[in-house]
Structure formats: C-alpha cells, structure tokens
Amino acid sequence: MTINQKQLGGTDVMLPEIGLGTWKYRGGAEPLRHGVKLGAFLIDTAEMYRTEDVVGEAVRGMRDRVFIATKVLGGHLRYDQVLGAAEKSLRLLGVDCIDLYQVHWPNSRVPISETMRAMERLVDTGQVRYIGVSNFSVEEMEEARAAMTKHPIVSNQVVYSLKRRGIERDVLPYCQRNRMTVLAYTPLASGSLAPDSASGGRKTPGRAARLMGRNQGIETLQGIANETGKTPAQVALNWCVSHPGVIAIPKSNSLARTEENCGASGWYLSSEQLDRLDHTFPV
C-alpha cells in the first residue's frame, strides 16, 4: 500500500495525505499503530479530545516514525495557559516535543498576539516544532499571521468533505496562496459518505441508505466506486486530497476501517470523475 505525501506548509516536512484523526476515537492503540505501519504516520489529537494518552500509548517505541499534532483549547489561550496546556499535552503523549501545535478555536476575548507569543515561545524552547491553527477564517488567519514575529503558521485544520465544501470559497484558496496546509477533519461527513465500508462497520447499508436517501450524490459516489474498484469512502477521501495542499485526517476505530482509509491514497480519480462529484455535491 502506498500513501502519497504532501509538503507541510512551506517547510521541508513531508506528511502522508491520509492521516489518523482521533476525535471521538474509541479504538485503542492498535488501529493507530497499524495506520502508522501502513504509512499514515500523521496522528492528530487535541487537549479537548482526551485521546492524547492513547496516542502516547500508540507511539511508544515508534516515536521517530510518527508526526504528532495536537491542539490547545480555545479557552486556554492566555500566555501562561498555552504554556501550561502544552506541558500537560507533552506529559500525556509521553514525548519531548509536539510536532505540530495548533490553536483549536479562535477566541476573541484573548488578543491573538498574546496567544501566538506563547506559541512561538514553545518553538524557541524546543517543545514544539511547528505552529498551526484550527477553525480559523481568512480574517482570523490574517490576524494570526500578522502577530507572528519569528515562526510561520504552517496549517489550518478545518471541516472539509464532499458534503461540506464551504472552505473552497475563501479559506482553501487563501491557504494555498500562503503555503498553509489544510488538514481536513470529518472528511467522510461523520461516516455518511461511507455507506459500504470494507468492514461494514461504519454504517449498515440500510441505515446508510436512510441517512443518505435524500442525497442524490450517493448514486454518483457508488457509481465511481464501482468504476475504480474502490469503496465509496475511499472515493470520498481521494476527492478530498485531490485538492492541492489538502491532507485528510479521518477517524476509524478498527483495523479494517484504518486499512480502508489508507487505501484512499496511491491512485487518482480521473478529471471526469472529479467533475461528476463536484457537480453532484455542489459548494
């Protein structure tokens, strides 16, 4: 299995275009370890998710093979709070350095300059390698970038899937112009774009049909899956990462689903197939 890689922002770091998300994750260490072995060595977690400890368990003994991303809560953005949250995350993860530390949500009650001063301090002390944001609008990204004095913002983690394409209007073009990687979370729209997953575990076919009965896109998705010999989930993920600068971080609780997600890379949808999906799932 081959997972294609993409550059992280303007850095020289290359990351898999399919990573491992851990929001609402209940799978334990093994699916994460399996994903890393398959080449999906980017694991994303957060203070809010309460999964940093299981990520730490998963990477034990293989830390040098894994790129760890985590996030500070939007309610912990004062200077000392950021530093304290990072130290707690480091302890839970059981590591000496966080590869990508992200501001989880913007907080208008705290000056972004104060938050970013703390983030840059963490890079200076070697506790963090790279700085990112999450759920930031174009205006919020502009403010955050203007507050930086030493280090760049390399990424913005936002919701993005065939069903939720709003970032294509402004956030995605802005990130592409400014060499900021987009980390797409819930790229399978909470499983609703995976009606026939390889494991049969995301949604039962009957339930999936009911959930998507009013969405004409399911027929297109299934048709392209048949054409490519892939699953609908793999088609949906491949569409997502077909956009320059976009990395998808789906969550899966089982070995089979992890393998299925990893199998979304290493091949390409045709331009005609991409056009059909764009037409069926409009922005």
Per-residue pLDDT tens over the stretch 145-186? 999 999 999 999 999 999 999 999 999 999 999 999 999 999
Looking at residue 212, what is its pLDDT? 44
Q: Which amino acid is at 222?
A: Q
Residue boundaries of the structural domains of the chain: 5-191+236-266
Looking at residue 176, what is its pLDDT? 98
Which residues make Cβ contacts (< 8 Å) with residue 191, sequence separation at least 6? 202, 203
Question: Would you place residue 209 in the very low, low, confident or very high pLDDT band (cuts 50, 70, 90)?
Answer: very low
Residues 68, 31: Cα–Cα separation, whole Å: 15
How many residues comprise the chain? 283
What share of the chain has pLDDT > 90, as a percent?
A: 90
Could you give the residue numbers annotated as active site?
49
Task: Indicate whether 196 pLDDT > 70.
Answer: no
Task: Indicate whether 127 pLDDT > 60.
Answer: yes
Question: Would you place residue 197 in the very low, low, confident or very high pLDDT band (cuts 50, 70, 90)?
Answer: low
Q: Which CATH class, in words, describes the domain spanning 5-191+236-266?
A: alpha beta
Reduced to 3 states (helix: H, G, I; strand: E, B; else coil), residue 147 is helix
Looking at residue 1, what is its pLDDT? 83
Residues 7, 151: Cα–Cα separation, whole Å: 17
Helix (H) or strand (E) holding 42: strand 42-44
CA 85 to chain centre: 21
Task: Indicate whether 206 pLDDT > 50.
Answer: no
pLDDT (tens digit, 9 = 90+) per residue, 73-100?
999 999 999 999 999 999 999 999 999 9
Residues 97, 207: Cα–Cα separation, whole Å: 43
